[in-house]
């Protein structure tokens, strides 16, 4: 065995105090003996194998500040202080002259990372990498990629570009004119203030306007006229919730869920098998084509399923199932059985509907045990109020009322 001097850094063998030498010629065994070769008492030692790691670093080259995380859970914070830019990585602090920094790139690597950019820091390009990360942008126009994992991303007041990438992400643009793409999987997008471009990407994606108080118009048609006028909610968004104003929300050719939330809202499903929820307020719900589910919930609501096998639920309040635009001969009964509408249509007009408006055909309309308002409109209609104190209007034609 060869005796080599310390330090230990690059040698494969070296000496300790007392003529004890070490040998790393085999990573599986560590032998100890006197330097003169005489036998000594045997002993056992624990050897830890260290995996290769990507260590945290922050370097400034030619005005470009690069901050790199590791494979574990990192916390990376950038904040200004006077003339300095502070970079705090897992509690370790580096200082840079702020005026010397013209570009910032952050790559946090794997792990469950927290990246936070304080106001006053210039625009950053951020890649959160793998893991379920939290990213908080600063006041600049940041470019943020969530990477894989279920990420929570907020853009800050700048005009940010945010891509959730893979995973079920929650993305908020906050203030500024932001461009947000949910990426793969099922994402939730909050545009915030400003004129925002909101794309769902793959998966079932949700755009939430619940914090807005103004009257909103939202149409899933890829045109920048949504929200309070300047948003563009794209047709690859499946689920929209309105705010507390009187909103009009129109879906796409795909299956949508449209939730009016508070206010007196108008919801239009268009194509696809849609779910329309009025929530509170006196709402108007139109399913159009497809097998739709309409639920007025609270308030006095008007529900028109349109073509297809629709389920029409009134909820609380005085609710109306509106077939007045139809020319077919209809059969409608408030008995919770899916046999309503035209022949073979199989709508289900639920018993918590109070008012039925028939169409221009020869309709058969039957009420429930509640007090109903039944209107046949045009055609030779047969109307049966059933039990309850009903109001019946046959309309034009030769009608039979029982």
* pLDDT tens profile 338-376: 999 999 999 999 999 999 999 999 999 999 999 999 999
pLDDT at 5 over 90: no
Q: Average pLDDT for residues 241-256, to the nearest whole number?
A: 98
Residue with token string 């809202």: 265
Tokens of residue 21, six digits: 């030498």
Strand order in the sheet with 13-15: 13-15, 20-23, 33-34
What average pLDDT does the chain have? 90
Tokens of residue 123, six digits: 């625009």
Confidence of residue 388 (pLDDT cuts 50, 70, 90): confident
Tokens of residue 216, six digits: 């909103």
Q: Find, among 101, 145, 96, the residue nearest to 122 by Cα.
A: 101
Q: Where do the structural domains in the chain lie, given as residue ranges?
A: 1-49, 54-191
CB-CB contact of 116 with 97 (8 Å): no
What is the per-residue pLDDT for 10?
A: 43
Tell me whether residue 164 is exposed, middle or buried, using C-beta atoms within 10 angstroms of its C-beta: 0 to 12, 13 to 18, 19 or more: buried
């Amino acid at each position: 065995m060869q005796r080599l001097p310390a330090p230990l850094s690059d040698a494969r063998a070296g000496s300790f105090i007392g003529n004890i030498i070490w040998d790393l010629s085999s990573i599986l065994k560590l032998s100890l003996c006197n330097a003169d070769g005489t036998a000594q008492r045997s002993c056992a030692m624990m050897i830890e194998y260290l995996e290769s790691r990507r260590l945290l670093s922050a370097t400034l080259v030619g005005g470009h500040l690069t901050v790199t995380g590791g494979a574990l859970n990192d916390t990376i914070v950038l904040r200004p202080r006077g003339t300095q830019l502070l970079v705090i990585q897992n509690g370790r602090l580096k200082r840079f002259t702020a005026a010397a920094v013209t570009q910032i790139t952050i790559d946090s690597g794997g792990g469950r990372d927290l990246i936070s950019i304080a106001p006053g820091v210039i625009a950053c390009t951020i890649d959160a990498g793998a893991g379920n990360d939290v990213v908080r942008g600063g006041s600049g126009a940041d470019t943020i990629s969530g990477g894989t994992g279920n990420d929570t991303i907020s853009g800050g007041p700048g005009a940010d570009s945010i891509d959730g990438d893979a995973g079920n992400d929650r993305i908020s643009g906050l203030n500024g004119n932001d461009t947000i793409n949910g990426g793969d999987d099922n994402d939730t997008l909050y545009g915030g203030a400003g004129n925002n471009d909101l794309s769902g990407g793959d998966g079932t994606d949700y755009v939430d306007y619940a914090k807005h108080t103004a009257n909103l118009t939202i149409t899933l048609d890829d045109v920048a006229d949504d929200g309070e006028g300047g948003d563009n909610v794209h047709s690859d968004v499946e689920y929209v919730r309105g705010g507390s104003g009187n909103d009009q929300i129109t879906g796409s050719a795909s299956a949508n869920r449209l939730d009016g939330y508070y206010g007196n809202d108008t919801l239009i499903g268009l194509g696809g098998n849609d779910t329309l929820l009025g929530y509170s307020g006196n709402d108007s719900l139109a399913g159009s084509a497809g097998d739709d589910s309409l639920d007025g919930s609270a308030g006095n609501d008007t529900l028109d399923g349109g073509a297809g096998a629709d389920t029409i639920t009134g909820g609380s309040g005085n609710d109306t199932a509106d077939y007045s635009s139809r020319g077919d001969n209809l059969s409608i009964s408030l008995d919770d059985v899916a046999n309503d509408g035209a022949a073979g249509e199989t709508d289900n007009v639920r018993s918590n509907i109070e008012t039925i408006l028939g169409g221009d055909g020869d309709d058969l309309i039957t009420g429930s045990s509640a007090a109903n308002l039944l209107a046949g409109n045009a055609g030779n209609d047969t109307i049966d109020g059933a039990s309850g104190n009903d109001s019946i209007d046959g309309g034009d034609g030769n009608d039979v009322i029982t």
